[in-house]
Amino acid sequence: MEILIMQVSLFVLALMLGVELITKVPPTLHTPLMSGTNAISGIALVGAILAAGNADGGEVARWLGFVAVVLASINVVGGYMVTNRMLAMFKRKD
Amino acid sequence: MLEIGMNLAYLAAAILFILGIKGLTRPKTAVRGNMLSATGMFVAVAVTLLDNSIVSFELIIAGALLGGAIGAVLAKKVQMTAMPQLVAVLNGFGGGASLGLAAASYLQTLGGAGFAEGALGTITLITIALTVIIGSLTVTGSLIAFAKLQEIMPGQPIGFPGMTGFNALLLIGALASSVMLAIDPTNTLYFWLAIGLAAVLGLTLVLPIGGADMPVVIALLNSYSGIAAAFAGFVMGNTVLIVSGSLVGASGLILTNIMCVAMNRSLPNVLFGRMGADTGGEGAGDEIYEGKITSASPDEVGMLLETAQKVIIVPGFGMALSQAQHAVRELADAIERNGGEVLYAIHPVAGRMPGHMNVLLAEAEVPYEKLVEMERINPQFDDCDVAIVLGANDVTNPMAREDKGSPIYGMPILNVDKARTVVVIKRSLSAGFAGLPNPLFALDNTLMVFGDGKKAVVDITTALENG
């Protein structure tokens, strides 16, 4: 139970930190912000790796883990690369 | 010992994500921020591979290679005009990944140690159910959003009477399945039922939303994909998932709110209101436009621009549609060579996603200092010689400011009508998404240039340079 309370605290504090941070992002960067957060939501890859490498749940569970690895990897690689591509366009006029 | 090290590495990853987003608060630091965030991801993934519970790596490696390759191709090939579609599918993939891992985790706990008795087991099961529900509706909702943006599906709202009630039933059904699952964890039927009902809910939530409201929908689904990841973090007992999922969730919620404020509508109104689906119509426009439309040729506009000191360009979705961003930049260069000043007025909901116009113009190498937000540009229309409206409609409609009876009354607009001369480049007099006529087109100081956006801009540039 204590762990759950700690996790909920973490969730709420991170949400509040997120609100504080993201209100400061200028509208010009809202599209890269969205693709950048797409990449961050690819953090599900961490959980997906554990699911795909675990044998307890049988074949169906492992393949679900595999699908999760594929989808999360698309987000991580695609998200960071496309964000970088966009941000480079904003940067080159400095 | 290994576990402590892993958790510290996850903490480092979370810090890097936070610093990464902080970098995005300024264009100058944004590239570095993105790199920091990617480094955080690398750290988190690398230490996860050390976990003892992993017995085989084949599927992990195969999945990462496959996904990585698809992601790289998408990121390289996508056109900047198609960014809303890409973000829409990535939202869906994010939700799908959380759905997949939560489902796998459920089956593994079932096949392994089983769920704990009492409150702890119940909480775990409810968390798993919530993760798969949010994940599942994010997947199907994002696919519909993608199909609408890609114009595989018509952009108009699709629905039937009583759809909101139907959606409420789906949600209640999915939640009831979750409760049943918590009572009887081994009955997988309830588990798949919750996923299935949520999948249908994702479809029926997004189908009735029209093309121009997509910025709100994409931002909201972005938030859902983050919340799904955070909930998956509860399921896996993984702190970095919780922290980064919440950051993404918060980001999506803030963008959703910004979009709603910019349209002067509440979120429920966007999601369930179906404004403008069948109001107005072409007939209403004829009266307003009758005999009052002044059309102009690109040559005439070119002559007008020769003497213009201050020009404000107002881009909208039409600029993206006709891929006119590079032509616009060339026109601006020509005006500047002639001694004029050029600024761009960016309405928060111009385009199909937050910041869409900014990215397109950045692609065409327009310096971001020249892209001016609504609040700061509006006072400047008073001393503006020529305002050029390219593919924008509803965000320039003076009825939003003046006509209390108008459905868009109160929506913040760009005051282009205050400019000395307004040039509107548009295919026809057809209404925008709101289905309303735009009295701007009939003003004495408005010139209409009918035709394809890109061609018109190129012709005006040629006329100005040869004039």
Subunit contact A75:B93, Cβ cutoff 8 A: yes
**Start and end residues for every CATH 3.40.50.1220 domain found in chain B:** 283-466
pLDDT digits (tens, 9 = 90+) for B435-464: 788 999 999 999 999 999 999 999 999 999
pLDDT above 60 for B284: no
CA distance B285 to chain A (A): 33
What pLDDT is recorded for position A93? Answer: 52
> Which has the closest alpha carbon to B122: B194, B186, B179, B177?
B179
B278 tagged catalytic: no
Q: Which of A24, A26, A75 sits opposite B90 (nearest CB)?
A: A75
Beta carbons of B440 and B416 less than 8 angstroms apart: yes
User: Is the minimum CB–CB distance between A5 and chain B shorter than 8 Å?
Assistant: no
What share of residues in chain B are helix, strand, coil (percent, to 5)?
Answer: 65, 5, 25
Q: Average pLDDT of chain B?
A: 91
Place of tokens 């939530």: B205
pLDDT above 60 for B110: yes
Neighbours of B51 (CB within 10 A): 15
Long-range CB contact pairs, B279-286, < 8 A, 24+: B279/B407, B279/B434, B279/B435, B279/B436, B280/B407, B280/B431, B280/B434, B280/B435, B280/B436, B280/B437, B281/B431, B281/B435, B282/B430, B282/B431, B284/B436, B284/B437, B285/B429, B285/B431, B285/B437
Query: What are the chain A neighbours of B244 within 8 Å (beta carbons)?
Result: 14, 40-41, 43
What pLDDT is recorded for position B285? Answer: 64
> Which has the closest alpha carbon to B147: B92, B225, B196?
B92
Beta carbons of B394 and B408 less than 8 angstroms apart: yes
CA atoms of B62 and B45, how far apart (whole Å): 15
Mean pLDDT of B181-194: 94
pLDDT above 70 for B105: yes
What pLDDT is recorded for position B269? Answer: 83
**What band does B275 get if pLDDT is binned at 50, 70 and 90?**
very low
Mutation for testing the A interface, residue in B6, B28, B39, B90 having most A CBs under 10 Å: B90
Mutation for testing the A interface, residue in B247, B343, B360, B373 having most A CBs under 10 Å: B247
Catalytic residue among B213, B394, B417, B459: B394
What pLDDT is recorded for position B282? Answer: 43
What is the percent of chain B with per-residue pLDDT over 90, rounded to a whole number?
74
Subunit contact A32:B241, Cβ cutoff 8 A: no
Helix (H) or strand (E) holding B220: helix B214-236
Residues of A (14-33) whose Cβ lies below 8 Å from B: 14-19, 21-33
Least confident segment among A67-71, B16-20, B272-276: B272-276
CA distance A9 to chain B (A): 10
Q: How far is CA B62 from the centre of its chain?
A: 31
pLDDT above 60 for B276: no
Written as six digits, the tokens of B456 are 């018109």
CA atoms of B123 and B65, how far apart (whole Å): 35
CA distance A17 to chain B (A): 7
Give the CATH superfamily of B283-466.
TPP-binding domain (3.40.50.1220)
Counted across chains A and B, CB pairs separated by less than 8 A come out at 404
Beta carbons of B278 and B436 less than 8 angstroms apart: no
Adjacency order of strands within the sheet including B421-426:
B371-373, B341-346, B310-315, B386-390, B421-426, B446-450
Residues of B (277-336) whose Cβ lies below 8 Å from A: none
Q: Which three-class secondary structure state does DSSP give residue A56? A: coil
Inter-axis angle of helices B453-466 and B325-337, to 10 degrees? 20
Mean pLDDT of B177-192: 95
Mutation for testing the B interface, residue in A17, A33, A35, A46 having most B CBs under 10 Å: A46
pLDDT above 90 for B358: yes
Neighbours of B295 (CB within 10 A): 12
What pLDDT is recorded for position B278? Answer: 44
**What band does B280 get if pLDDT is binned at 50, 70 and 90?**
very low
What pLDDT is recorded for position B289? Answer: 85
Q: How far apart are the first and last CA of chain B?
A: 77
pLDDT above 90 for B31: yes
CA atoms of B181 and B133, how far apart (whole Å): 13
Query: What are the chain B neighbours of A88 within 8 Å (beta carbons)?
Result: 31
Written as six digits, the tokens of B156 are 């108009």
pLDDT digits (tens, 9 = 90+) for B51-73: 988 988 999 999 999 999 999 99
Written as six digits, the tokens of B429 are 């007099």
Residues of B (433-462) whose Cβ lies below 8 Å from A: none
Beta carbons of B11 and B22 less than 8 angstroms apart: no
Torsion over CA: A26, A31, A35, A38 (sign): positive
SS3 sequence of B35-68: HHHHHHHHHHHHHHCCCCCCCCCHHHHHHHHHHH
Mind listing the pLDDT tens digit of every residue in chain A (94 residues)?
788 899 999 999 999 999 999 999 999 999 999 999 999 999 999 999 999 998 787 889 999 999 999 999 999 999 999 999 999 998 765 4
ipTM: 0.95
pTM as predicted: 0.91
Place of tokens 């979009």: B259
What share of residues in chain A are helix, strand, coil (percent, to 5)?
Answer: 85, 0, 15
Query: What are the chain A neighbours of B123 within 8 Å (beta carbons)?
Result: 4
CA distance B65 to chain A (A): 8
Q: How far is CA B465 from the centre of its chain?
A: 37
pLDDT digits (tens, 9 = 90+) for B191-231: 999 999 999 999 999 999 887 788 899 999 999 999 999 99
Neighbours of B293 (CB within 10 A): 16
| Backbone φ and ψ of B426, nearest 5° | -155, 150
Mean pLDDT of B81-90: 95
Within 8 A by CB and 6+ apart from B303, the residues are B463, B467
> Which has the closest alpha carbon to B234: B110, B118, B126?
B126
User: Is the minimum CB–CB distance between B256 and chain A shorter than 8 Å?
Assistant: no
- Buried b / exposed e over B82-118, threshold 16 CB at 10 Å, is ebbbbbbbbbbbbbbbbbbbbbbbbbbbbeeeebeee
pLDDT above 60 for B417: yes
pLDDT above 70 for B326: yes
